[in-house]
Chains A and B, each alone.
Chain A
């Protein structure tokens, strides 16, 4: 048996759009195989075909040399294909064991199951406690629960979609140990990621998709990170350069922000202090769920803060709502795209109006000037290369990466004096991420200030000239990035001294 799973000429179209076109490749037994590609390259469609949630228009698959044609995920699981999704599907109020039992076909929760959970978690170094409530677990631990749940089915192929995007560097190392051990024991892994450095570390084979077609199969360890990125986007990457950093006066400061949590799984913010100068890009690193959402709420103006805590251009802005803050040229890109940064059912033109400072001319005494709105939407779509059917297409019809480009573009064309941006390139492919980063750097060089809240350390280290770490609601003082920056940040991220 040469391949665990072999794909032959798989094609799948949605109307006129060819999501997958004649894709053929094989996954060797006991290997970690990377699937790379930009947003919209067809990775998700291909994975759905393998996992049985979509049926291909043409082409066939072989599983251990046998014909394989799953009609639904249930049949795929019966064959030994398992998947860890990017969005976890766990119930926060239930325990680990209850969650695992619920996710399995034909299983009851009993002592035997708990024993198997413990056995699997020990065998692969997946540290979980079956009796803990999922709501109390970190993101990394939740992912381990998901993996154990997959392992319960004794898979022969484990599909992992963007597994490291939410993990700390330490957790990533732990995950890699688990994955290597799994591969040694004979389970193939299909690894989907944007993080090329990690792909180079762990994968033996890579299949690269672009525009629905297979463009290259290679051993990622034999290529550099930028070579891989260029294969994905099909053109040269512009080199990011942040050379001429000219710092001006302080434009924004947070002075001792304290806020108690507002719900059960929230985080208390304690004594958060921050100062941002014109021309600087300040980064807040940290694992999700350490107070980023709470901080972002206060920065956007979705919840009020006390007098003297938030100062922008010398003015207290604690009581201003988001629109009033924008009038002062303070703009925001939240992490959550649908339902927060945009309204999913509304068109891009209507979503444009979420951010409408008077100077933009989109509204006049509340009366909407649709002509101006339309011009601006077209400008965002062109300048930021947003792939969309039209300027009136609903936000939910765009892929995540394109919607992100729209949201970033919407705020950037207003030439903000201060831009606060959470996860600027979350789920965005290498080429577009590069463009967004370049746009941020250009903005800073024009004398604006930027606050980046991100879990992606690479991103923070590329962009920022001042880095803080947010851990359990505490913001660290600026970290000296030059010497030993990465190590210090990693330590702070896990709350160590």
Chain B
């Protein structure tokens, strides 16, 4: 019989080994899928894992995809530490893009340096307000924030459609459901010439630094940590449970909103119905793969961005369906969570002689 036995102390070796083991298992499982699909395994591997790391275009696109993942995951990680489960970053991302984008469209063709900051401000407010609905319902009526944030995501998707079909539709766009293309002043500065890498990537890195400071050096970091692991001890320390819920939801919502605007005013350049591509959900995987550690999130967001790139490449070169990306991300999270069990437990094999 296989048994899990609690280790007397957490294994530091496994803390490092678990992600490597998870990656290896994912790679092996991918290989099996490739074999099953009768593909040339070596070629498929190259397309999936190596090609995205070659050339200016691939590398820059990696950063473009990593930026929103990183930002959203950092925001979510703060809430997750406190045991506040914001599953609807995708919705806050959309509302942020709409609010910030609407400001940009309102000042259409106004050339000014204040426009981008104003749009960013509106996006943060939008994201915060949307996450605030869940905070209000949770603190006032004890409604589970997981359900509220998740369901509001679908509302946000429909709201985006309503907007681009209605008030925000491009008047000269032949009735296509999309907004005007943002003018230069309402578009994010590019930091790597000739690519789509925008200032959002720098801001995401800065935000990682800020999150690191909060979690390691600031009482607010202790507050969320304590609230997450021992609610009674949090009260003993004088922390209000409701404030923790409000703060964490507002932060994660605001950041997701900003990431949404950066996507709209960055690589895409307008509001379109297909703006949400699941970054809000994928960021949850990013946060957990990094064990909610801010610096870890910087790296895992790059890793997950790689799976997006690999998935796209596989679509083009190998004619694999788009779902392959989700399959890989799902496998990676699954294996990672399974391997994490080994940090606290050891596997023993024994033959139980009792009935």
Using a CB–CB cutoff of 8 Å, the interface residues on chain A facing chain B are: 14-15, 72, 74, 300-302, 321-326, 332, 334, 336, 339-346, 350, 353-356, 363, 366-368, 370, 397
Residue interface mask B51-85, A partner, CB < 8 A = 1: 00000000000000000000000000000000000
Neighbour of B230 across the interface among A15, A323, A343, A363, CB < 8 A: A343
Instruction: Report the Cα distance A332→B225, complex, angstroms.
Output: 21
- Given the known A-B contacts A322-B238, A354-B226, are A368 and B218 also in contact in the complex, defined by CB atoms under 8 Å? yes
A271 to B240, CA, bound (A): 27
**Complex-state Cα separation, A73 to B225, whole angstroms:** 37
Cβ < 8 Å to A, chain B residues 285-332: none
A313: min CB distance to chain B, Å: 18
Contact of A367 among B217, B230, B235, B239 (CB under 8 A): B217
Interfacial chain B residues near A344, Cβ < 8 Å: 229-230
Tell me if B238 and A353 are in contact (CB < 8 A).
no
Is the beta-carbon distance between B354 and A340 smaller than 8 angstroms? no
Residues from chain B with Cβ under 8 Å of A74 in the complex = 354
Docked Cα-Cα span, A339 to B230, in Å, equals 5
Main secondary structure on B side of the interface with A: helix
In the complex, B219 has a CB within 8 A of chain A: yes
| Total A-B Cβ pairs within 8 A | 73
The reply to whether B236 and A363 form a contact with Cβ atoms under 8 Å apart is: no
Extra inter-chain contacts (15) besides given A321-B239, A339-B230, A356-B219, CB under 8 Å:
A302-B236, A321-B235, A322-B237, A322-B238, A323-B237, A324-B238, A341-B233, A342-B233, A343-B226, A344-B230, A354-B233, A368-B218, A368-B222, A370-B217, A397-B9
Q: Quick one: CB contact mask for B225-252 with A, threshold 8 Å, 1 for yes?
A: 1100110110111111000000000000
Range class of the B interface residue count: 20 to 34
| A residues near B38, Cβ cutoff 8 Å | none
Other-chain residue from A334, A345, A354 in contact with B229 (beta carbon distance below 8 A):
A345
- Chain A residues contacting B232 (CB-CB under 8 Å) are 302, 336, 339-340
Which residues of B are found within 8 Å of A350, using beta-carbon distances?
A: 222, 225
B211 → chain A, closest Cβ, in Å?
Answer: 15
Q: Across the interface, do B219 and A14 meet the contact criterion of CB distance under 8 Å? A: no
When distances are taken between beta carbons in the complex, the residues of chain B under 8 Å from A339 are 230, 232-233
Residues of B within 8 A of A353 (CB): 219, 222, 237
Residues of A within 8 A of B219 (CB): 353, 356, 363, 366-368
Q: How far is B250's CA from A270's CA once the two chains are assembled, in angstroms?
A: 41
Please state if B236 and A341 are interface contacts (CB–CB under 8 Å): yes
Smallest beta-carbon distance A293→chain B, Å = 11
In the complex, the answer to whether A354 meets B9 with C-beta atoms within 8 Å is no
Shortest beta-carbon distance from B98 to chain A in Å: 34
Q: A366 CA to B218 CA in the complex, in Å? A: 6
What is the CB-to-nearest-CB distance from A38 to chain B, in angstroms, rounded to a whole number? 22
B253 CB, min distance to chain A CBs, angstroms:
22
| B220 close to chain A: CB less than 8 A | yes
**Nearest residue in A to B227 (C-beta to C-beta)?**
A343
Q: In the bound complex, do residue A302 and residue B226 qualify as a contact, i.e. CB atoms below 8 Å apart?
A: no
Asked whether B238 lies within 8 Å of A326 as measured between CB atoms, the reply is: yes
Docked pose: A312 CA to B93 CA in angstroms: 48
**A323: contacting residue among B8, B225, B238, CB under 8 A:** B238
- Cα distance, A74 to B229, chains bound together (Å): 34
Q: How far is the CA of A397 from the CA of B9 in the complex (A)?
A: 9
Which of A15, A354, A397 meets B236, CB within 8 Å? Answer: A354
